[in-house]
Every structure is written in C-alpha cells, then in structure tokens.
Structure 1
C-alpha cells in the first residue's frame, strides 16, 4: 500500500490532484486508505486525453466505479514561471525518457531522461509525437477544434456514422465540452498576431477567404499576457510543449475535473500500463508500472476491471493491443488491429515575406484556416501557423493537412526485441502530401509578388497526428467495442481510419467518444 506521502506526491501539483484528495476524503481516514490502495474497479480507463477524458466523465455521471490510469504527470501552471521547456529553453521535462532532445526546431542537445511531457518515438522513416501527461494531447496541441468537411467525412468513415448526426449533435457537444471559440478581434489585431493578419492577406490575394478557426485557448489569459500581467507564453509562441500560464483550456480544465467531481472516478498519474490480459471468469488484468517524478520505478502493481477503455493514444493503444494479441494475452483480437496507420497528411511549410513585417513575436493560437477541396493533388486544409523562434524574422508558417485515403502503415510485434514497431512505412507515403504543400506554396508566391519560397529543412519526417490501427467499423463496432474481446473498448485516435479528413484530430476524437459513450451507457456496456 502506498503511503499517504507517496500518494500525495504522485497526485499533487495541480487542481486535479486537489480535487482527487477532496473526493477521497481525509488523508488520515480509513476510507482514504482503502480508496487509494484499491486495485479492482468496475471500469478502468487507460489514458486521460480526448477520448479517455470523455469516457471518464460519462462513466462517472452514470455512477460507474472508474479508475483513470495515466502514465504522465499533472503539470501545474504559473503566471510567472516557465513551467515547461520549449524550443528556446530545451529541458528534459519536454520529453518522455529521452537522453537527446529531438523535435522540429529543437536543438538536439543532451537532456536528462525523465517522465516528461511528450514521447518522440523514432519509427521506420517517421518520428511520432505523442503526449505523456494528465490531459494527454490537450496540453500540447495548438487548440484548433475543427470538424472535417462533409465530403471527406463521408469518404472515410463507415456508412453507419451519419455526418448530419455528428453535425447536429456530436460536434457541437464536443466543441462545447472543450470550450472552443474563435479568436476575438482585439487579440487578432494585436502585435503578436501580425503574422496572422499577413497570412490572411496573402490568402485573400490568391482569391481565397480564410475563415476563423475555433480554438481552445483562453482569450482572457492572452489578454493578461498582452497587458503584461503574466509572463508571455501563448503570445510568445509557446504551444508545442505546453503553455506555462495555463493559456490553453486543456482537458485538465474541462472534462477531467467534471469527471472527478462526480465522486465515482479516481485518477492515478505516473502509472504506466505495460500489459493487458484476460481475467479468468471475465474482464481484464493490467500490469502497471508506478513511477515517481524523477523517472524511477517505485513499484509494479496489478489492476483488474470488468470494463476496459483503452484510450492511450494511437501509438500506445497499438502497442498495448498488438502486443497483447500477438503474445496470446488477448487472442480474440482480429488481425486488422494494428493496420491502417496514417499521419493525417501533416506537412509544415514556411515562406519568407520580405515586403511585409510580421510582428515582434508570433502568437501561438491559429487565427484562420481554409479548405481546398479540388485545387491540388490531394484535398487540403491550410492553417495559419507560427514559430516560437521567429522574433521578427520575415517568415510565415503554414500547417497543411491533406486528405489521404491510400498511404498507410501497420504496427507489428518485433519478437526479437519484444517491442511493437511501425512497419510498411516509407518516405514515399508522405510524397503526395509534400507535393500538395509545394503546389499550395507556389500559388501563394504567384499571387503575392515579393515573398520568396523557403523549404522547411528538417532531417526527419514527423507527425504530431498519428491515427489509426483500430479503425471504427472495422476493428470495433460504431461505438468503440472491440471485436472479439467483450468488455474492451477503444476511444482515441486509433479509431480514426488513418486520416481525419481535412481537419485536426481533437474534435473528431472527442465527438466519436461522446457518441460512443452515449450508446455504451444507454446499453449498459
């Protein structure tokens, strides 16, 4: 049984830790000790990102005894201190057990291995970024909260998922739950968003009218940054490794505290699930490694449940399920599990703008977006992006997401090393989306005399939007119930068939999870 001091150390540091303690009662009580030592729950949710947070809330509201297990820690925020590292302040806190920093714009300097904010998994011809924190990717993403266009939705998702239903019910519910809104005019017109206005102007010269991008940034915090009342974070361009002042409405401010407040949900951070297998008589058993903030393993424990929701993010859900199937621990899983991986067509473009000043800094929230349905090799969404290190340099950045139906990889168990790795992925898989980016950039330059093209020269192909491996309607039913394993559910990016369809993943994952949980709760499982 962990001591009270140990438990508080694992759960403290933020509002969720305090809420957990309040929910469980006095630290000296028998009820508290019993609660914190429990290993058997009706439901366990693995992961606290977009899907896991929705599952936790809806289970808690239904009165289901639920444990949320999260391998990362809850990160506090501060109005004055740089809690997280960044591209300009490289720290081991940025990375999950890396000894050398690795990500676009980050110098490859030595860092201390520890349970940091983000895992960068170096796979075959691809670096995959995945979060490791309470709140999952919501702590790291750039807040864009968009639905895929109808034509893309209907070409990618099973016929049983109705776009009209999602548009009328699930997208609005997810957007409201996440707290999404468009950038207010006073912030858009401020100096840190000069680059956004220039990007929009260049798009209009192409004959394209950008539309505001719904975002989960807290505009009041940005206003405080602009006034100088708090340390600049979002307006300085911090986002990839978190905003230290809490400028994002991450899941730690929305779904997760609501889940804990039901009184039926516990959260245990710094608990990493290593294996899953069937429990004799039904249900599941999880082997869990317990960590401390320094990175040391402080224990290995076994948890069990009747209902298991695997929401560990695309990379880790595939690792857990493919490994369990191929080792014989979950033999009912289909051969399709682990297949259909994609990168959402991620591309980043940069161009110079020698005739336009872009401001003293480039604020992080994306102000505007535009969708090209037929102009290029692949349908593509472009979004106004930023670079933390710009500092007035005449550079504009664009995130481009293509609609790619064809280029997929799969996850396989490497029996020699015992690890699940990405296979069947080649540099050519990203070539069509790269050509689409080049076509778009050429059109911008043609319509805007003066700017000069500049290719993003990063030596490693990468994605921050890994998707697929347990596709809805193929590996699961339309509510995330995994075929062949009763009581097992998947509700995260691995449900998406390798590509969202011209949008960032967060809203689609949340909406899929909201729809799934409504059906699961109504059916009693």
Structure 2
C-alpha cells in the first residue's frame, strides 16, 4: 500500500484507477473476480486419509494440528504410542482448479477464508475505498473470528497457524522470559527446549549479504535505515523459509512463492510449515493418523476409563455429515488459544468436565498486536517486488515496550510505504465465559484495551516520523484511522500454565487430560510466539512421557 494520496506519484505514470486495481497486499487485496473453488479432489483427499471411525478406541487423541499438537504427536509416536489427530480444517494437499494448493494473496477465493461469504482482510480500506469482496463459502485456510471487540486470525487446516503466518521464528530475549512464563525454568528452556524447537522447525536466518543486494527486500532495508536513523536497533529475525529456494525465486529459476507475495492464504512452495517438519516426521513413524474436517464438540469421562470424545465430521460447506463417538485413554487439547479455551469453558460450564478449576478461560491476551503504515517520501521507494516473508524487526522493548516487525506490502507496484506489525507490552487480559442462552463461549475483550499497544508503538513511529518528516497512513483500517487496533494474529492464554493446569499442562481434576498449545501462555511473549509455543510443548511432552505413560 502507498503513502497518502498526495504522495502517489509513480514515475512510470500509474493512474489512480490502475493503481487501485493492481494493488493488493499480504493484508488486503483488490481483485476483479473470484477464482473457481478448488477441484472436488480437495474434499476427496480427506476421505482417502482414512478418518477416525465411530466407536474407535485410541491411546491418545490430539485435538488440533498446530505447533503444540504436532510436537506432542511426534514425540509420543517416537515413544511408541499410537496417536490420532483431529483437525477442523482441510488437509491442504491437493491442488485446486488453478493448479495451486493455496490461493494467491491478491486473488482471494473460497480457499482463502473459513466459512465466510465475504473476505475479512486486516487492511479493510485503501484510498477511501473498501476492498473486501464476495467469495464462495468454503472451509478455507484463514479464520477471521470476530469476538468481543477483536478479530482473531487463525489458520484452519493440517498445520494450523503455520499455514498462514509470516514464518518469523523469534526466540524471546532471555531477560524477558521471566515475565512470559514465570513458573518455567529459563535455564532449561534456553539450553534445551528452545534449541530443540528451532531445530525441529527448521529455523535459519537470511544471508545478510544477499539481503543487502536483492530487490525483494528493499522495503526492509528502508525500514532498517529509518529505524537506525532514529536510534532504534534493527535486528535480523530468523525464519522458517527455505532461503536457498527464495534465492532461486529471485533469480527466476523456480516457481515464485514468497517473492510472488504468497503468505496470508498459504505459501505454495518455500515455506517450511508444520506439514513439512513436525507433521511429516510424525507421519513417517507410522503411528500418527490425522482426520481433517473433523471437529471435537465434547469430551467427558468414559465409564470404563479414559474419555469419550464426540466429533462432528464436516464437508467443505461446513455442514456436519456425521457425528462420531470415540474413546481415548488420554486427550491433548491443542486447538489453539481460542479453540482450546472455548472448548474447555464449554466443558466446565455444561458439566462434561466439572472438576476443571476456576482459571479455565482466563488470562487471554492478543500479544499486544497493533498495526500501522507510514507514508514515505518518493526518495524512499520500498520496491515493486517484495518478499512476503519478513526478516527484520525494530526492538524498543526495553525502553518503550514494543517490538515491530517490518512487514511487506507486496502489491507489484511501487507504493512508497512502510508497514509494521507491532508486538507490545499490553497488560490487558480478557476471559472467556459460557453463554448458556446462546450456547457458545464468548470473549470479553474490548477494543479500547488496545490503547497501551498504540502508546507503545508510538514510541517507535512518532520518533521515526519526526526524524524523517513523514506521516502515518490514515486510509488502511477505515476512514481516517491510523491504527489497526481491531485484530490479533497472536492469540495467547485462556488455559494458563500452572493455573488452569499444573506446571506441565496437565488439567486439574481430570487425569489424562492435557493442554499443550498457546493457551498455556498468559497473553504475551514479547515477540512472535510460535517458537515459544513449540519449545514449551517440547518441555511439557518430555515430562509427560517420562512420568505419565
């Protein structure tokens, strides 16, 4: 996206109409028509995987296939335990009618959103025009779940959030860890579990010399220059992208993926999502089975021991086609912060798991996420070609409580804009509760609670704007609205470690039930959270295997 309207002056003569039509981004896209829904083979592939049968009995059932669930499945399988994973989304292993598994960022279609008939893009407006569009209802990859004053973006499919995030694999600074997980031994995390997680995820850092030379990171170099001129440290952020593949993309020798702007609705080639790392290793053991398009609705103690789990099988329209009851000796809740929290709140309130304690549903936070854009001068062009994988951040955590990733706006034309997703030290925490009349769990987050995040982000961007003589964009999140304070990509908490669970994720009152995902982390990680979620899962599952099995 661009600077203010007065600054959109492309030297190659892009007209306003052409500029609008050609502009999309990783966060908001303008398109003229929807692509066709993927081939029916997409749905057929789910059945071919052999979904769990009604009446089955399994040693371990894992609810969800994101970071925590994938770690648990792999390590349990390596310990000789048979594991069945339940995933609400699709397998994402079959190309659609365009030959690609995932839809392109600037051309959202049914594959792009989870059971919506209109896109819900984080950047909702551009130059005063709304940019969301109608799409076919489908079990697509990105869930934009609206709850209590916030939109929570979540990945739907085998691989969970790893399918749709920017791949920024950041380990928190050691000095910040005590505030993130106060009951966890930091020495163990930094000597054993963070390294194990980074190895398992395939984390690496971009070649700095290549970064400095390639056109697709001009936007990030501009972000670095502006940060450093205002006295802020710019840090290279590790990632889970195949950098050698990206070098080939930039050279034009392989199909483009990140360099083509693919990210928000999946990345077709170079990104090392969980499908390619933990899940691939888990499947290779021969002890892990996955049922996509299955949704757990209740868990309760079984009369003969273990737990009865009721599961709905879905079709690609989101309709329940079968209801199954299975028995599991042990159940791991790994449906993500929102999914796990909502399910546990329901199970406690409805009496299915009456012994769960009063901490269930509490301690939920948004990782302090807030977004903004800056309108640069024409001499600070950010580049027509932008890799969708962020590689740099501005660290003002110690002084201002903010860490800002320099994010791409891969539109295909020059925009003279810098865009940022900030993670901030926001102290506000929400809770989930059960609304019996509505039959659903609700979150009490209030949009006004984002103000500390805005204040923290301003410690960076007010200073940069002052130094550079630039201004904030006001047209990306509505009319004359500077801050994207309506969303989060990083939901955390709701079943907090050592409160709703013991110090290793065992749920109180119900032996054999565990939480192993981001709901264990109370609201903030100071950086992008998935490495911490993975490392904590590695720590917890090691203890559980050693002592419980």
Once the two structures are superposed, residues 100-136 of structure 1 have per-residue CA deviations (whole angstroms, 9 ceiling, x without a partner) of 2112136332222221112111111111111111000
- Secondary structure of 2:217's match? helix
Q: 2:409 aligns with which of 372, 382, 387?
A: 387
2:118 maps to 100
Contact 1:152 1:403 in 2 (8 A): no
1:494 maps to 519
1:56 maps to 73
Shift of 1:81: 4.1
1:472 maps to 497
Once the two structures are superposed, residues 406-431 of structure 1 have per-residue CA deviations (whole angstroms, 9 ceiling, x without a partner) of 301111111111011112x2122110
Shift of 1:485: 1.2
Shift of 1:63: 0.6
Confirm whether residue 138 of structure 1 aligns to residue 155 of structure 2.
no
Once the two structures are superposed, residues 176-224 of structure 1 have per-residue CA deviations (whole angstroms, 9 ceiling, x without a partner) of 1000111123255211111011111111112233121000011132123
1:27 maps to none
- 1:248, 1:38 → 2: CA distance? 37
Q: 1:305-454, aligned counterparts within 5 Å? A: 305-354=328-377, 355-376=379-400, 379-389=401-411, 391-404=413-426, 406-423=427-444, 425-449=445-469, 451-454=470-473
1:29 maps to none
Shift of 1:274: 1.6
Greater shift, 110-119 or 179-188, is seen at: 179-188
Confirm whether residue 147 of structure 1 aligns to residue 171 of structure 2.
yes
- 2:43, 2:394 → 1: CA distance? 47
- 2:328, 2:278 → 1: CA distance? 22
The count of aligned residue pairs is 494
- Secondary structure of 1:128's match? strand
- 1:357, 1:81 → 2: CA distance? 34
- 1:476, 1:485 → 2: CA distance? 10
Confirm whether residue 66 of structure 1 aligns to residue 73 of structure 2.
no
Shift of 1:271: 1.1
- Consecutive unaligned residues of structure 2, counting only runs of 5 or more, are 1-40, 125-130, 479-484
Greater shift, 319-328 or 146-155, is seen at: 146-155
Shift of 1:456: 6.2
- 2:138, 2:473 → 1: CA distance? 36
- 2:323, 2:384 → 1: CA distance? 49
- Secondary structure of 2:322's match? strand
1:252 maps to 275
- 2:385, 2:316 → 1: CA distance? 33
Q: 1:93 to 1:407 in 2, by over 3 A?
A: same
Shift of 1:240: 1.4
Shift of 1:370: 3.2
2:22 maps to none
- 2:252, 2:453 → 1: CA distance? 40
Once the two structures are superposed, residues 242-262 of structure 1 have per-residue CA deviations (whole angstroms, 9 ceiling, x without a partner) of 112x22100000001111111
Greater shift, 232-241 or 246-255, is seen at: 232-241
- Secondary structure of 1:409's match? coil
Greater shift, 77-86 or 267-276, is seen at: 77-86
Confirm whether residue 179 of structure 1 aligns to residue 202 of structure 2.
yes
- Consecutive unaligned residues of structure 1, counting only runs of 5 or more, are 22-32
- Secondary structure of 1:446's match? helix
Confirm whether residue 273 of structure 1 aligns to residue 290 of structure 2.
no
**Structural RMSD (CA):** 2.3
- 1:209, 1:319 → 2: CA distance? 39
Shift of 1:82: 4.3
Shift of 1:145: 0.8
- Secondary structure of 2:218's match? helix
Q: 2:101 aligns with which of 83, 103, 117?
A: 83
- 2:42, 2:362 → 1: CA distance? 40
Contact 2:363 2:493 in 1 (8 A): yes
Shift of 1:38: 6.8
Once the two structures are superposed, residues 336-356 of structure 1 have per-residue CA deviations (whole angstroms, 9 ceiling, x without a partner) of 100111000001121122121
2:477 maps to 458
Contact 1:87 1:388 in 2 (8 A): no
Q: 1:98 to 1:188 in 2, by over 3 A?
A: farther
Contact 2:242 2:272 in 1 (8 A): yes
2:64 maps to 47
Shift of 1:307: 0.6
1:209 maps to 233
- Secondary structure of 1:350's match? strand
- Secondary structure of 1:517's match? helix
- 1:145, 1:455 → 2: CA distance? 30
